[in-house]
Amino acid sequence: MPHQERFIVKIGDLVRAKANFLNIEGWLSNHDKAVGLVINVQFGEIDPDHMSYRVRWSGDHGTFWSCIQDLEVIHEDR
C-alpha cells in the first residue's frame, strides 16, 4: 500500500486520538473516551497546507478540528 493511502480519512470514519494528542487534551488516563466520529473534512482549516478533520468526540469532549498526525482510524479488522 502506498504511503499516502494509509492516511485517508473520510466523513463517517471512527477515529482514536493518538498518544501525543491524549496528553494535550488531558485524556491520558481514559483512553476509551479518546474515540470520535469524523463529521467534516476540509483543506486548510488548521494548517493551510494540509487536510483537517472535524471530529465529534465521545462523551462530553466536544467537537473540534484535528490534524491527521493526531488521529488513528479504527478499522473493522481490529
- What pLDDT is recorded for position 18? 80
Domain 3-73 CATH class label: mainly beta
Mean pLDDT, rounded, for 42-50:
88
- What pLDDT is recorded for position 48? 86
Check residues 12 and 1 and name the one with the higher pLDDT: 12
Task: Look up residue 46 and give its amino acid.
Answer: I
Most confident among 10-14, 28-32, 58-62, 72-76 (mean pLDDT): 10-14
Rounded to two decimals, what is the model's pTM? Answer: 0.73
Contacts of 40 (CB under 8 A, 6+ apart): 11, 53, 54
